[in-house]
Amino acid sequence: MPAEAADGRVDPLELFHEERGRKPSARALPRVTRSALRLVWQANKSGFLSAAFFQILGAVMATALVLASKLAVDALLVAQRGTVSTGALVPVIVLIAVVTAVSAASAALQGQQQRLLGEHVACAAWNRLLDVTGRVSLEFFESPRFFEQLKRVEFNAIVRPVTVTSAVFGLLGGLLGAAGLFIALLTIEPLLVPLLLVAGVPAVLLTRRAARTEFDFAVRYTPTVRVRDYLRTVLTGREAAKEVRAFGAERAVRARHDVASMRLLQGVRGQVRRRQRYAVAVVLCSAIVLAATLGLVLYFVATRRVSISGAGAAIVAVRLLSSRLDQLVGSIGTLFESSVFLEDLERFLALSVEGDSPGTGMPAPHRHEIELSGVSYTYPGSDRPAVDRVDLRIGAGEVIALVGENGSGKTTLAKLIAALYAPTEGSIRWDGVDTRELEPADVRRSVAVIFQDFVRYQLSALENIGLGEPDEVEDEAAARASAVQAGAAGFLDTLPQGYHTILSREYADGRDLSVGQWQRVALARAFRRDAPLVVLDEPTAALDPRAEHALFADVRQLLHGRSALLISHRFSSVRSADRIYVMESGRIVESGCHNDLMASEGLYSELFQLQARAYR
């Protein structure tokens, strides 16, 4: 179970303990395999049954080929003695051709069916992973260990259910084929069977030892893969291209990419060599046993213990059985190797239990006031509170400003009010109801929040605005009205496809916007949400002072009676707020209207005058 902090919160930093050195467990194997098969079955029942049918058909055809080979040798010997015509061989030849064709066709159909099944399972696995990432709290995403776990699952575990399914089908086909071939060999010479059975023991042991190394490798090199992939994004992405070229940073970034790439390559080289040594050992064991078995067949022929036709069939059976045993060993190895990755995936998917519920669908009430009493918040892994014993009130329809220097805790406090974090101490009450008694999703429905680092979705302008009200994304009339409010309608109307234009040059017919235009689109997204509280965290940082002042001057009209929490680094823009709270080192050190704060000659007055002098 994850560790809990003193306040009872799950600490995301403790969710994923060190996995290096974890070994495939034979006891966990059946449970993990059942889980994988359940996922595959749920993803595509008909595809699962089709793949199983082709696998069974291939196993049956292998046994039929042995029996047909014996019939062919018997017919050839009879024809050679002249007791029957060669025409009698035709049915046997046709039988061998049919069996061979069906065997080859089943293998080809099986491969394509598993490809289709793999797509179904990948979609199902991704859906479950996205369910988790969509529900876990923001604290998880801000935990390095959680993010490494997420990336390791993406890189490795997400494809393992398909791999395990293929391995189980291989195991099923191998067992059925081996059983049929064992029966065929028992009718020819029973002593050949135990020798072939013994051959599988060292191969299974070696394969299991090889599987133990794979998860260690994945854990050890996931951070390296993340660094390499990030640097590739910097070197190939459009967002970073301007700055990389402006600073001539390409060579330096490329050098760091090459170091990470070389480190990963060396790791892969070492892992491949380890796996190759095990693979060669497995092949040598199989080859030695195969040679001994074929030698024993020749000895039995020489001593007339086995007939020529029986020997021919035995040789075919031994060769096919050796192939089936290799299939069995490979499937068992895959199951062992995949079991640890699947346990990793299971642990990650179990986080959905720890995450937020979808809520009741009813927004938190805000007809009177939102009140913060003694609210504190400490980030997991830190011993210093980012927000420290804050008291704050937002009345219905009020415009409240939050100001302070960088690092004073303004954005953290905004996240607490928006229910993105839960306070470690104190209470947040909406019309007297403690948010601990409400679903976080319901509180968030009552808040429209835009942060300074808002998302620039590579979607249409309509969708960029419409995501403010996700259930009504396609409502173009409402999106246009929000764009007018935010001052974005003028430039959006001039786009080639209007509001249906993709806002990215990475797509055909797409268009990009300036930083200031993007901020107006983000504001339109906030206005699009019909929420009683709007939180604007530095929403106009890229606007010029005149445009920002005009926006904030009209904020009451734009909000249509909704409450607002404005966070701005320009003090002059928030002077018309009903109440201004000044933060320093996580605490509220001053509060009041602009005139009162200026008269008190405290921190607000000092910072206001510093900024005013800078603009003179």
pLDDT value at position 6? 43
CA dist 528 and 488 (Å) reads: 12
CATH of the domain at 554: 3.40.50.300
Domain limit, last residue, from 530, 563, 579 = 530
pLDDT tens track for 505-527 = 878 888 988 878 888 898 899 88
> CB-hemisphere CA count at 13 Å for 477?
0
pLDDT band at 477 (very low <50, low <70, confident <90, very high): very high
Range of the structural domain that residue 472 is part of: 456-530
Lowest model confidence (mean pLDDT) among 128-137, 393-402, 425-434:
128-137
Q: What is the CATH number of the domain that holds 296?
A: 1.20.1560.10
Task: Judge if 40 and 118 occupy the same domain.
Answer: yes
Instruction: Tell whether 22 is covered by a domain.
Output: no
Provide mean pLDDT across the span 545-572.
73
pLDDT-above-70 percentage for the chain: 74
Q: Are residues 564 and 487 in the same domain?
A: no
Backbone angles phi, psi at 460, to 5 degrees: -70, 160
Q: Does the pLDDT value for residue 555 go beyond 90?
A: no
Domain count within the chain: 3
Domain assignment of residue 4, yes or no: no
Residue that wins the pLDDT comparison between 609 and 176: 609
pLDDT beyond 80 at 239: no
pLDDT score at 413: 93
Beta bridge partners of 433: 430
pLDDT in tens, 373-418: 999 999 887 889 999 999 999 998 898 999 988 888 998 999 999 8
The answer to whether residue 19 is domain-embedded is no
Q: Residue 497 corresponds to which tokens in the numbers above?
A: 């496809």
Q: To the nearest whole number, what is the mean pLDDT of the chain? A: 77
Mean pLDDT of 322-329: 69
Query: Are 218 and 141 part of one and the same domain?
Result: yes
Of the chain, the percentage scoring pLDDT greater than 90 comes to: 14
- Structural domain includes residue 3: no
**Do 490 and 427 sit in the same domain of this protein?**
no
Give me the pLDDT at residue 545, please.
64
What pLDDT is stored for residue 80 in this prediction? 57
pLDDT band at residue 199, thresholds of 50, 70 and 90? low
Is 70 exceeded by the pLDDT of residue 88? no
Judge if 374 and 340 occupy the same domain: no
Does residue 8 sit within a domain?
Answer: no
How many Cα atoms occupy the beta-carbon half-sphere of 396 within 13 Å?
A: 7
Give the mean model confidence (pLDDT) for residues 537-545.
Answer: 66
| Sheet-wide strand order for 387-395 | 387-395, 369-377, 425-430, 433-434
Asked whether residue 435 falls in the same domain as residue 508, the answer is no
**Can you give the pLDDT at residue 21?**
45
Pick from 183, 158, 143, 207: nearest CA to 59: 183
pTM: 0.66
The yes-or-no verdict on residue 261 having pLDDT over 50 is yes
Position 385 in a domain? yes
Average pLDDT over residues 149-160: 73
Q: Kindly state whether residues 230 and 337 are assigned to the same domain.
A: yes
Q: State the pLDDT at residue 510.
A: 87
pLDDT tens digits for 135-149?
A: 777 777 777 777 777
Whether 235 is in a domain gets the answer yes
State whether the Cα torsion 570-571-574-579 is positive or negative: positive
Place 5 in a pLDDT band, splitting at 50, 70 and 90: very low
What pLDDT, on the 0 to 100 scale, is given for residue 280?
A: 79
58 — pLDDT class (breaks 50, 70, 90): confident
Q: Does one domain contain both 174 and 314?
A: yes
Indicate the residue among 470, 503, 530 that finishes a domain.
530
Between 1 and 408, name the one with better pLDDT.
408
Is the separation of the CB atoms in 563 and 397 below 8 Å? yes
Of 171-180, 364-373, 474-483, the one with minimum mean pLDDT is: 171-180
Q: Which two tokens stand for residue 289?
A: 């046993």
Q: Does 518 share its domain with 572?
A: no
Q: Which residue has the higher pLDDT, 295 or 195?
A: 295
Contact 589, 582 (CB under 8 A): yes
**pLDDT greater than 60 at residue 86:** no
C-alpha distance from residue 179 to each of 120, 284, 314, 604 (Å): 31, 23, 14, 84
What pLDDT was estimated at residue 307? 66
Q: Which residue, of 473, 496, 530, is where some domain finishes? A: 530
pLDDT exceeds cutoff 80 at 536: yes
Long-range residue pairs from 69-72, CB within 8 A, at least 24 positions apart, any chain: 69/96, 69/312, 69/313, 69/316, 70/188, 70/309, 70/310, 70/312, 70/313, 71/95, 72/96
